Amino acid sequence: MFIILRLLFKNTYKYTTPTPLVYLSDVFSIVFTLIIYNLTSKALTPSLSAHYNWHSQDYFTFIVIGELILSAPILFFESLPRSLKMHIFDGSFTHLILSKSGPAKVLIISTLSFLPRELLSTFLLFMIAKISFNLNVSPSDFVAIIMLQLAFLPSLLALSFIMSSLILLMGRGYGSASQLGLGMTLLAGQYFPIDVLPETIKKISELLLPTTALMQIGRELISGSYVINFMHIGTILLWALFLLPLSIYVFNQTLEYKLKKGSHFTFYI
């Protein structure tokens, strides 16, 4: 298993970092994004501050904290469909099916191999925002965000397996994983307070989407106003203890259905 993990990390590194210039590209991308957020904050804050709760923060801090909390988890959510696509494209998915470990276990390891790259991008975002834009988030708060993200990984993995099952069944839909990720960031309140959402949608997203619970806990921890919310705890336990095993079972059943049907494993964008 260690050898498989090492090979997957190596393969993932080559897949995500074909050249060291990628890191330079990341830095430019982060700086450009932060400049846009800063200018947007200056344009919107005077008119919006009086109407919405920014957790006692200006809009720039609000939106960057949202980016710190959700950027790596959303990328992690998209990593399993990405790994599935990668294995189908390079022809190795058939070998995963025949392996003793089974495709689900190898895909989980492959997905975890993307995590260091995603956390590095989050760290770069924090450092650049802290040094260049005086972001009002302490290093201890940033560590708390990372620990919180790691606690939510099983929940996000469950969502990924559900999405991957649909992709495997239809042979297409990788782009919809990115669209769903964007939808989850909007419902979680990454770019605006969830107070603007209708109350019904707000409650449903808090109950069903782990990203919404993650965002609310993260913002409250940083602002020092966190109070235990049993709905959030219930969401974490629901996804991690019940829906993760169920989602893996659904993925395996989908794979078995495809094999019995004699379908070729194809993948379209």
* Distance (Å, whole) CA 165 – CA 157: 12
* Distance (Å, whole) CA 15 – CA 103: 19
So what's the pLDDT on residue 269?
A: 43
So what's the pLDDT on residue 35?
A: 92
First to last CA, the chain: 31
So what's the pLDDT on residue 126?
A: 93
* Distance (Å, whole) CA 120 – CA 131: 16
* Mean pLDDT in consecutive groups of 10 residues from the start of the chain, 269 residues: 60 62 81 88 62 62 87 85 78 73 80 82 92 89 86 85 84 74 83 80 74 79 69 72 87 85 57
Residue 48: name the closest of 36, 31, 32, 62 by CA: 62
Residue spans of the domains in the chain: they are: 2-261
Adjacent-strand bridge partners of 172: 268
* Distance (Å, whole) CA 142 – CA 147: 9
Residue 219: name the closest of 136, 153, 151 by CA: 136
Q: Where are the alpha helices (DSSP H) in the chain?
A: 2-16, 21-48, 59-89, 93-98, 103-112, 115-133, 139-151, 153-170, 174-188, 199-208, 210-223, 230-237, 244-261
* Integer Rg of the chain from CA: 20
What pTM was computed for the model? 0.78
Torsion of CA 65, 67, 68, 73, to 10 degrees: 140
∠ CA 185-191-193, rounded to 5°? 100
Dihedral of alpha carbons 121, 217, 210, 106, sign:
positive
Residue 164: name the closest of 78, 261, 241 by CA: 78
